[in-house]
Chains A and B, each alone.
Chain A
Amino acid sequence: MTENRVLTFPPDGSVFRALLESAPDAMVIVDQQGSIVLTNSQTSKLFGYTPQELLGQSVEILMPEAVRKQHVAHRDAYMKSPRTRPMGVGMELSGRRKDGSEFPVEISLSPLETPNGVLVTSAIRDISDRKKAELKFRALLEAAPDAMVIVDQFGKIALANAQTEKLFGYTRQELLGQPVEILLPEETRRKHTAQRNVYNRAPRTRPIHSGLDLVGRRKDGSIFPAEISLSPLQTSEGTMVTSAIRDITERKQIEALRARHAAELARANRELADANQELESFTYSVSHDLRAPLRHIDGFSRILLDEYNSKLDDSGRHYLQRVADGARQMGRLVDDLLNFSRLGRQEVKRQSTDLTAIVENVRVDLAESAAGRDVEWKVASLPAAECDPSLIKIVFTNLLSNALKFTAPRPQTVIELGCSEEEDQPAFFVRDNGVGFDTKYADKLFGVFQRLHRQEDFEGTGVGLATVQRIIHKHGGRIWAKSAPNRGATFYFTLPGKSQEPRDTGTVKEGIA
């Protein structure tokens, strides 16, 4: 029957040749003695021999000299029971070109029955590219910063990189073929085996940092916290699992340190909150309890002055007046101090604020204290600012009332208000032509209860500018002053943040309409 079919081909074997030529691999047909009887053009291309040069040659001509002898024995054994052997089944071989160069090949064999006896067809494939890719893969593996371990479907270590040796203290030889559990502490091995089986049923990529924290065990038995990522790797030998293992001892230490710091911070915050609470109740009782005796001192000395006036001589009345004045002054101090401390606790609520309008309000409030005086106000249009309007009103109230206070001895008072460029940032200023101060005391200017003038010259508690400074600082701004004795004073402050252009007149008109 076979003959019938063979007979249908032209007897010159042209069909067979055409088939041979169409194969993608180098095809070499060898007789039982190992002599080459036929090759295709792929063979010539791959090995550099012409067909004539190969014809009749022992097939070992295509192999490195080192394996030729051994191959003869293999070949003889094969010929005794020839069978088909597909590509890539445990046959890592090398080919040798005419020029002596060698290259990795993969070979499949199949017996071919012919009238002249059994021949052997071998298909030879150049796998240099694949080998290169493999080398690249290994190089990549070696270059990885983490220990990389490839495990086969049976949980045996198939590949490990240099980092693995370094991390675990095993040589690669010691690891290859071992169950991957060798890298785990004994008490977790059994559980891991079970987990591995679960994973193998549905392998998926699990990146590092996905909460897969484990403990690794070195060859010397010491353990360390590790972070592991897993990804399935499809190979001709089945699904393997690549795992990257990272020693996170240092990170764990940093985390512990951070947690300790956070705990310390939380404790400090609690203490601060407690201290604030205490301060709160302190100021509350100051506000309530300290004011009461002051009221009593003032009240009873006032009653004495009113109702027992005739029974007192001038000195008696004078001293009693001093008692009452002292009580009132202390009352003001307590009030100012309370306002100042309240300010420290107050939150800054920023909003776009029309400063010109605030200044106008303050001027109305202060009109009474300026009554009967010749005061010239030079108020420029101020840009809107991002600030807390109620706090900024306190700033302007203090600065303007100071300006009024320290210009009181002047026959004509000039108070100027505007915005200028100071040290590359817009600064608001309040300028007066008052008594000024000596700048060598400027550092005392903004201190609580610090005063640069005698009480009998200018009344005050020394809290106003401290309050102003606190508000400006709370806004992230700066405040400073320029002055000289009897040459007036200028106070500057900045309000960082989105500062806008002054409103154009159109907007103002609209507001009026």
Chain B
Amino acid sequence: MSDSDAVEILLVEDNPADVELTLHALGQNKLANKIQVARDGEEALDFLFNRGSFRNRKSQAPPRMVLLDLKLPKVDGLAVLRAAKGDPRTRAIPIVVLTSSKEEKDMVESYSLGVNSYIQKPVDFDNFRQTVRDLGLYWLLVNVPPPQSAFSVAAGDPNNS
């Protein structure tokens, strides 16, 4: 239980109403215990790479999943995705894009950057709630998380020479 304070979900979302609705949906499914909210891309990257205001956070374990909005202040979601998937320390973290956008270029770029899932936020709250629930259950309970060794350079990064 050394990781009792480890964050399970990193929610990257700038809109407070969306944050509230997402947390509400996660909470209804008892998934809201260990959620870290990042309000822009920079904060998200600081958290993922344990730097900035997260330099001294207790557990430096990676989150079990990242829920990532695309339209974000400072550093946008695609840039966060690029940075996280381009670094061996964070590449294995499952990242789910959860966005209003269904623009083809956003989808193409997200997938080419290695996103694990791409979800368009449904307008209908029932659908939204169901979607968030499915996401939480799948990535936190069904999916087998990457082992610790997947988060180090030693794990063998073909691009890291």
Contact = CB atoms under 8 A, between A and B. Distances in A.
Given A295-B18, A296-B17, A300-B21, A288 B99 contact: yes
Nearest to A332: B123
B101 A288 contact: yes
A61 to B, nearest CB: 104
B123 A298 contact: yes
B14 to A, nearest CB: 10
B125 A292 contact: no
A287 B103 contact: yes
A284 B17 contact: no
Contacts of A335: 123
A332 B71 CA distance: 21
Interface string B44-76: 000000000000000000000000001100000
Interface size range of chain B in the complex: 20 to 34
A391 to B, nearest CB: 15
Contact of B123 (A288, A301, A327): A327
A113 B103 CA distance: 112
A327 B125 CA distance: 10
B121 A291 contact: yes
B100 A298 contact: no
A336 to B, nearest CB: 12
Given A302-B125, A302-B126, A331-B124, A295 B99 contact: no
B123 A331 contact: yes
A295 B101 contact: no
A295 B125 contact: yes
A303 to B, nearest CB: 6
B24 interface: yes
A276 to B, nearest CB: 15
Contacts of A287: 100-103
Given A302-B126, A331-B123, A292 B21 contact: no
Contact of B18 (A296, A298, A334): A296
Interface in A279-300: 284, 287-289, 291-296, 298-300
B128 interface: yes
B116 interface: no
B33 interface: no
A73 to B, nearest CB: 103
Nearest to B22: A299
A292 B18 contact: yes
Interface in B99-123: 99-103, 121-123
B125 A298 contact: yes
Nearest to B25: A299
A332 B99 CA distance: 17
B143 interface: no
A293 B16 CA distance: 11
A328 interface: yes
A288 B18 contact: no
Contact of B21 (A284, A288, A296): A296
Contacts of A294: 123
A287 B104 CA distance: 12
Interface in A94-126: none
Contacts of A331: 123-124
B15 interface: yes
B102 to A, nearest CB: 7
Interface of B: 15, 17-18, 21, 24, 70-71, 99-103, 121-126, 128-129
18 contacts: A287-B103, A288-B70, A288-B71, A288-B99, A289-B71, A292-B100, A294-B123, A296-B17, A298-B124, A299-B24, A299-B128, A300-B21, A301-B125, A302-B126, A327-B123, A328-B123, A331-B124, A332-B123
Would you list the 5 A-B pairs with minimal beta carbon distance, nearest first? A331-B123, A299-B125, A302-B125, A296-B17, A299-B21
